[in-house]
Structure 1
Amino acid sequence: MIDVSEYIGLPFAPGGRGPRYDCWGIVRRVYADHLGIELPLHTGYADTLTDDTSRLMVAGRADWREVADPEPYDVVMFNVDGRPNHIGLVIGDGWMLHATRHKDACIERYRGIYSQDRIEGFYRYDHDCRPPEPGSL
């Protein structure tokens, strides 16, 4: 399990990239701090994952590939309000770090906060993934 205790309690803000964070912002911060990887900024706000971004991730045409067995630093995507629009960072053993408008950054079980059917999938960062073709959204 990765230690993300330093992020617990960081305040939430829609579209937040620091010092307040949303779900994508907190994942970006951990990737930068722990792995030295600068994940892309996404525009728009629907808990940061725009429809276009989540569609690309789900289709495997972004820098993420779907995995069956999540490991630390993978992300779990949730289908909330009928579409994929929230993620958490897997830290290990069924736990994730995430931030929502109802809570600041916190650790919770990813199979506990939403019902199982709300998990859209687990994704692993893959910088060698080919970019989407123009007009493929």
Structure 2
Amino acid sequence: MTFDRFVGLPYADKGRGPTYDCWGLLLAVMRELRGIELPSYSDRYVTAEDREALAALIADELDPWDEIIAGQEQAFDAVLMREGRFPRHVGIVTEPGRLLHVSAGETSMIERYREGPLKHRVVGFYRYRDHE
């Protein structure tokens, strides 16, 4: 499975395609590569900068996602990351140790999460329950 076609996509607040915020990018990958439709949630917050609302949304809306023990993550698992003190950013594992994500002012990219700047931002890993 290749994630290359999702690299270099521009960021947009509440973007659900062809520009994306972090959740929108996760939605696109799950839909296009796994055939799984996830809820948009774009109507549940004002902007992607609404940290408290996004943190609450992520905490309350993880069903049907199961938390995975670090070290057991695999491709298509969601990675919840901290921005500041809030868990409000998500990425998607492309292979153990690497994730695809997009942040404000950037284009989507694949980065390492076990080292470098993302290492201390990772809060947890989640696997979609229907994903084998």
TM-score, normalising length: structure 1: 0.80
- List structure 1 segments (4+ residues) > 6 angstroms apart after TM superposition: none
Question: Which residue in 2 is equivalent to 1:50?
Answer: 54
Output aligned runs, 1:1-137, within 5 Å: 2-42=1-41, 43-44=44-45, 45-46=47-48, 50-56=54-60, 62-68=63-69, 69-127=72-130
Residue-pair matches, total: 124
Contact map agreement 1:24 1:47 (CA 8 A) in 2 = no
Calculate the aligned-residue CA RMSD, in Å: 2.2
Q: Is the 8 A contact 1:77 1:122 kept in 2?
A: yes
Distance 1:25 1:39 in 2: 10
Scaled by the length of structure 2, the TM-score of the pair is 0.83
Deviations 1:29-79 (A, max 9, x none): 01110111111111213368712222125xxx5211100111100011111
Q: Percent identity?
A: 34
Give the secondary-structure state (helix, strand or coil) at the position aligned to 2:117. Answer: coil
- Cα deviation for residue 90 of structure 1 reads 0.2
CA contact (8 A) 1:72 1:90 kept: yes
Q: Is the 8 Å Cα contact of residues 112 and 118 (structure 2) preserved in structure 1? A: no
Unaligned runs of 5+ in 2: none
Q: Could you tell me which amino acid in structure 1 is paired with residue 94 of structure 2? A: I
1:115 Cα offset (Å): 5.0
